[in-house]
Structure 1
Amino acid sequence: MKSYKKIAILLTAAIGILGASSCKKLLEQDPKASITPQFFTTSGGVLGGITGVYSDMRNLWGTEGFLYYTNSGVDETLVGGGSSTGGLAFGTYSNYVNNIGDVYNGLYGIFGIAYQDINTLNGVLQYGPTAFADVPTRTAYLAQAKFLRGFYYFHLLETFGSIPLHTNFITTPTLSDTRAPLADIYAQIIKDLTEASTELQNKPGETIASTGAASPFGGHSATKASALYLLSKVYLTRGWSAAAQSTDFQMALTTAQTLITNKGTYGVGLYASYADAYLEANDATNTEDLFAIEHSTDPKYGNYTASPSSGAVNGWAWFYRPNYPTVNPSYPSGSTGGSVMTRDLANGRPFFRVRPNADYIENVAFADKTNDYRYWNTFQTTWISNTANITTPRGTLTVGADTAIWMPPYDPGATKRAAFKGIVFLRPSLIATATGTNANPYTTSFFPSCKKFDDPLRPNVNDASQRPNVLFRFSEVYLIAAEAAFKMGDNTTAAAMLNVLRTRAAARPSTAPAAPTNAVTNMQITAAQVTLDFILDERTRELYGESLRWWDLTRTQSLVRRVQQYNAEAGPNIKDFEVLRPIPQTEIDLVTVGPKITQNPGF
């Protein structure tokens, strides 16, 4: 949503609620800033609470710690050369248990931030009804809180397993707490999201009928479509879990199909071309964006800081970028002649925190690059010369015309490589068979870059992205439906859902080479081809790098198997118990009365 400037009281007194963390957070505050129940009995208090929660999300999604949390140590990525010590631990499962102490910062921020915000939302829902005389207005506001509470509890549950469950606003510190049964947590999440799916606005900023006023929740805030998406995913996840109910997969499928059927009502739908879903020009009205976190240079609505290196910023335009400005004309031998490329807005700030797992990406997930154009829409493989007077052993590069760096997902052959004036990089498995000159392997610093999140319109070269960080995409609804149908044994429906995306995947931008005339036909699959691994590979093709992969693999009980199968860095280290994250130790230690909260097995 277009997040209102966060009220100062919320910045200092959103109280954490796990055990004595409530006491700790409360005692650190100036008592004049504490939130009281009366605060939420005003419309301004309700609005401030909800928008404060939206603002807090910038501390999670889009940050470096959250990148490691969701996209490291999986099948589709490897560790980048610029990764931090914590990122290396998450990416390789080495010394992984040493990262369990940090609650409010870094990799485990979700635990502390989520419980602070849940308590704020509990206050909104418990006391907010008295703030509005008008029922439709009250319903629209409180539905946002229900959605956000369900959202946070779901991510806590799928990350840590059973966790404490609180639905009342906590004002009195306590030194005890317990984990709730999984069944109870799921029931509360489903209750919140079911109600939100009927009470939220159809579209962001939609007029509240009784007052004629526009809802203050515009931009990329939650809508009915957001709630239906998440509700279908919650049913899907519970269906795989120990708390499964017999109707879960059917409910996941039915809920996803309801969203698909009513996409016109909600103003959502697939673009004709996959590339259009990621165009910066479409950000404000993206029909595939079901829920996103705002970022902006407007000081009233964003957290803009010039050239930051950390903080509540959207770094997705940085983290996948290779260190392209350090490639010299004679790479890999010598260092004379400067760099073939200069860091610029178009090519981005290179943080190179994660990199594609090239053999899986290029040989398995995106093996078909002729009919399926999603590889080319996802990865940047060429860097056009932007630096004058650069001469390699094969010739002088012309700015704006010659390709300075080329990373083809195939070996173009010795003749083409020898004639190419720039620097060629190939995935390591191709180097073994490549002959001739000018063939260098991908490394932890040099690799094809995920380009879907690029932001060439940011103010300065080293600025973070000002684009919204999209959490829910409409295309994933088809993948949720396919997985649910597959689990029900209905592979015909699963194939039909997947074929919607695969048909679209054959389309390509007008600037690209024309697709084969039979590309759409070649992209269709049959019911017999639907397997869990096919669905997971399709998720990579459709959603590579989008803060989902670790949860996708843990939900489907595939993390350990697929990491061992595809990830040479992490496979030897991963243990069966690492399908959950460890509860931050500082939270466990703060429970000093009654039974301790037990750590997840293995940690």
Structure 2
Amino acid sequence: MKKIIILLGLLTAFSSCNDYIEEESLSYVPADETYKTASGFQLLVNSNYATLKNIYGGNPWLFCSGTDMYAEGRTPEPAGLAEYSLLIPSSTNVQELYLSCYQAIQSVNKTIYYSTITEQNANIPALVGEAKYIRANAYFLLVQTYGGVPIVDENITSTILSFDRNTAEEVYDHIIKDLNESLATVGTASYATSGKVNKRAVQDLLAKVYLTRGYETFGSPSDFTEAAKYADLAIAGQALTIPFADLFKATTTSNNDLNAETIFSVQYSQASTSTDPTKLGSSQFYFFGPYLGGSETNGAPLRSYNLCATGYTLSLYEKGDTRWNATFMTEIFEYKRPSDGKVVLYTPYYDTTIPTANLKIRHFYEPKWFTAADKAAYLSTNASRLATGFVYHPWGEYTAEHTLIDNRDCYTIPVKKFDDPSPTTPISAPITTDGITSGVSTRDIILARLSETYLIAAEAYLKAGNPATGLARLNEVRKRAGVANATAAQFNIDYILDERGRELVGEYKRWFDLKRTGTLITRASTYNYKIKANNFDGANGEKKILRPIPQLVLDLNQNKNFPQNPAYN
């Protein structure tokens, strides 16, 4: 059955498996009766997790565009979100996060409603706690992105045409209430084993929420103290022992997404995308690099040529930092297949059946620390492995901004962390409605992992007035990366943002990091070649920090006293 509701001014259709909220029982039992059974209620809880795929699985513009770390390559990004000067309430992609978060909230509201009338068992409190975590996460994304938004806790079953806007302070209070209630009931099983929200995941999110609220005008110093406390509870004494290269390691048959340091993620599988493998799944692997030539020419995976690493991002690494080679495809290999003589680019890197001697180097991206002697040594050592047409990319000539000079295929460095070499992953797909050619992956999108929790603790302790402990937390991350400890003289918010940059390339954090720390304008205008400081100038002397409330929300809401964010009035 199909149910149409107007939720917060957005026309939202809950229909078909593509929306991940399916109200039609395959046995033709009405949904109300299904959810009153233990098995039916579990399906309803599962649908909450599925809504995360709507939030995170598509284009990552609202998470990464318009920042210091990523900038437009050869392919245009949405101008409003990428450059700010054209950002208006009707801009492309502004409403995507608003819509998907409220879909998640409505799913959770339904779960909580049925939890009191379904068949009761000992698992119900934990399942409700998992749902409240997902609702808290959705509201956290909303309040950071748009400011105050309507708080809706009831299970909506009929058309509602008018909503009021709550303050950001009220939304934060609601988030923390949800998370405290979640913490009291969710389980403790390891995430790698259960794949479900546990106490550690809740503690990690509480740390992030308190840290972010601490920067707000209504925040208080105690928020930073609470953030540090919950970050340490989430860390739980666990050291960073997995080599960085293994955290995202993937082969043609497996990946390491559910490792011991993963705290929470959006999970995918081949089974979950089998009904539409070119559309369902994660798009994370598709961004953060150049176009590589594509399957139609050399079998390389399709890439968007969007969100390319800026010179700032690439300059963050020093000699010996293991994250450099683990994050970027510093050498692109080619291989001539004996079966048909076709030269295949990029993907042979992952094929362990190919003898190393048969791999040729087509592209090499020189790191910042290379000297003339290093270059000569590299070319001499690898002389027999250099492919016909080999390209040596000097330092500074493969950044996002360098595409203004040279934007050929492979002329910016690819991020390889999210590569999915599984032969079942589509490496090409049709042009989508937004004009972007895209593919999808069954790699998980990792939302929380241990090293980031260390960095959250570092920032929280610094802001709480305990920099020594904060520095110790940050240096645990650097220790694993194989680089020298940061010093007390270096330790400040800018250094933390640099360290987060080194550690979290391509993960969906950066816009929120800059917005939280009040550095968005300065850093984006300094390091992103598409952005000037005055791009942020909005109406009424306000800056375009918050994104605008989507125009569709305002148009469909019959409460005309629902205010737009001041910079867009």
The bucket for the TM-score relative to the shorter chain is 0.7 to 0.9
Alignment CA distance shift 1:192-1:303 (3 Å): farther
3-state DSSP of counterpart to 1:55:
helix
CA distance in 1, matches of 2:561, 2:31: 29
1:401 corresponds to 2:401: no
| Bigger shift: residues 277-286 or 587-596 | 277-286
Residue by residue, what CA displacement relative to the aligned partner does 1:109-157 show, whole Å, maximum 9, x if unpaired?
22112212212211221331232432x3111211111111111111111
Return the offset for 1:486. Answer: 0.9
- What's 2:446 paired with? 470
The 1-side partners of 2:14 and 2:242 are apart by: 51
What does residue range 347-362 of structure 1 map to in structure 2 within 5 Å?
A: 348-357=301-310, 359-362=311-314
Residue among 187, 195, 203 paired with 2:189 = 203
- SS in structure 2 opposite 1:482? helix
**Aligned runs of 1:549-564 on 2, under 5 Å?**
549-564=510-525
Correspondence for 1:17: 7
**Aligned residue in 2 for 1:527:** 488
For structure 1, list consecutive stretches of 5 or more residues without a partner in the other structure. 1-8, 207-217, 264-268, 327-338, 391-397, 432-439, 507-518
Do structure 1's residue 62 and structure 2's residue 27 form an aligned pair? no
3-state SS of paired residue (1:124): helix
TM-score, normalization by structure 1: 0.77
Check whether the contact 1:352–1:445 (CA below 8 A) recurs between aligned residues: no
Structure-2 separation of matches of 1:276 and 1:251: 32
Q: CA deviation digits over 1:390-441, x for unaligned, max 9?
A: 8xxxxxxx9833311112124664867797651122354699xxxxxxxx96
Is 1:578–2:544 an aligned residue pair? Answer: yes
Counterpart of 1:436? none
| Pair 1:319-2:287 in alignment | yes
Equivalent position of 1:131 in the other structure: 118
SS in 2 for 1:283: coil
Q: Distance in 2 between matches of 1:312 and 1:137?
A: 30
Partners of 2:506 and 2:243 in 1: CA distance: 19
Distance 1:485 1:139, change over 3 A: same
1:451 aligns with 2:416: yes
Deviation string 1:423-481 (CA, Å, 9 cap, x unpaired) is 122354699xxxxxxxx967686211111111112415515211111111111111111
Could you give the per-residue CA deviations for residues 267-302 of structure 1, whole angstroms, max 9, x where no partner exists?
xx633311111123453641111111122211xx33
2:505 is aligned with 1:544: yes
- Taking the aligned partners of 1:547 and 1:26, their CA distance within structure 2 comes to 26
Equivalent residues in 2 for 1:274-293, closer than 5 Å:
274-280=244-250, 281=254, 283=256, 285-293=258-266
Task: Measure how far apart 1:184 and its partner are.
Answer: 1.6
- CA 219–424 in structure 1, closer or farther in 2 if over 3 Å, else same: farther
1:573 deviation in Å? 5.4
How does 1:474-553 map onto structure 2 within 5 Å?
A: 474-506=450-482, 523-553=484-514
Q: Is 1:384 matched with 2:333?
A: yes
Answer whether contact 2:129 2:186 (CA < 8 A) is retained. Answer: yes
User: Does 1:53 find its partner at 2:73?
Assistant: no
Label 1:119 to 1:229 Cα distance change in 2 as closer, same or farther (>3 A).
same
Distance in 2 (alpha carbons) for counterparts of 1:351 and 1:167: 38
| 1:141 matched residue in structure 2 | 127
1:1-37 alpha-carbon deviations (Å, 9 max, x no partner): xxxxxxxx5xx43855314x36x759999xx969987
Aligned AA (2:118)? A
Partner Cα distance (2:334, 2:164) in 1:
59
1:182 CA displacement: 1.9
Shift of 1:253: 0.2
Classify 1:443/1:560 alpha carbon distance in 2 versus 1 (closer, same or farther; 3 Å). Answer: farther
1:242 pairs, out of 212, 217, 221, with: 217
- The 1-side partners of 2:6 and 2:411 are apart by 42
Which residue identity does 1:270 align to in structure 2? Answer: L
SS in 1 for 2:363: strand
Choose from 168, 173, 178 the match for 2:164: 178
Q: Is contact 1:288-1:474 (8 Å) kept? A: yes
2:285 alignment partner AA = A
Aligned partner of 1:395 in structure 2 is none
SS at match of 1:386: strand
Alignment: residue pair count:
510
TM-score w.r.t. the length of structure 2 is: 0.81
Residues in 2 aligned to 1:592 and 1:27: alpha-carbon distance in whole angstroms:
25
Q: Which residue does 1:95 correspond to in 2?
A: 86
Deviation for aligned residue 1:63? 1.5
Q: Does 1:259 align with 2:241?
A: no
What letter matches 2:312 in structure 1? Y
* 1:564-603 alignment runs, 5 A limit: 564-571=525-532, 574-575=535-536, 577-593=543-559, 595-602=561-568
Match of 2:141 in 1: 155
Q: Could you say if the C-alpha distance between residues 75 and 290 of structure 1 is closer, same or farther in structure 2, counting changes exceeding 3 Å?
A: same
CA drift of 1:556 comes to 0.7
Paired with 1:314 and 1:220, the residues of 2 have a C-alpha distance of 17
> Are the aligned partners of 2:191 and 2:263 in contact in 1 as well (CA < 8 Å)?
no
Measured in 1, the distance between the counterparts of 2:441 and 2:211 equals 32
Q: Residues 201 and 303 of structure 1: is their aligned pair in 2 closer, same or farther, counting only changes over 3 Å?
A: farther
Cα distance, 1:80 vs. partner?
Answer: 2.3
SS at match of 1:247: helix
- Range 179-188 or range 478-487, more displaced: 179-188
Structure 1 CA distance, aligned partners of 2:139 and 2:550? 16
**Aligned residue identity for 2:45:** I
* Aligned equivalents of 2:273, 2:224: Cα separation in 1: 39
CA RMSD in angstroms comes to 3.3
8 Å CA contact retained: 1:16, 1:119: no
Deviates more, 1:169-178 or 1:35-44: 35-44
Q: Deviations over 1:318-359 (max 9, x none)?
A: 212322338xxxxxxxxxxxx9x8224xxx3222222100x2
Structure 2, gaps ≥5 residues long:
344-355, 400-404, 428-438, 538-542
- Secondary structure, aligned partner of 1:130: coil
Match of 1:424 among 361, 368, 392: 392
| Shift in Å, 1:251 | 0.3
- Against the structure 1 CA distance between its residues 430 and 79, is the aligned structure 2 distance closer, same or farther, given a 3 Å change threshold? closer
Distance 1:283 1:224 in 2: 22
Q: Quick one: structure 1 residues 480 and 567, their matched pair in 2 at CA, closer, same or farther if it must change by over 3 Å? A: same
Question: Do the aligned partners of residues 26 and 144 (structure 1) sit closer, same or farther apart at CA in structure 2, a change above 3 Å counting?
Answer: closer
Residue 369 (1) aligns with residue 319 (2): yes
Compared with structure 1, are the counterparts of its residues 590 and 444 closer, same or farther at alpha carbon in structure 2 (3 Å cutoff)?
farther
For 2:15 and 2:566, locate their aligned partners in 1 and report how far apart those are by CA, in whole Å.
29
Deviations 1:471-518 (CA, angstroms, capped at 9, x unpaired)? 111111111111111112211011100011111001xxxxxxxxxxxx
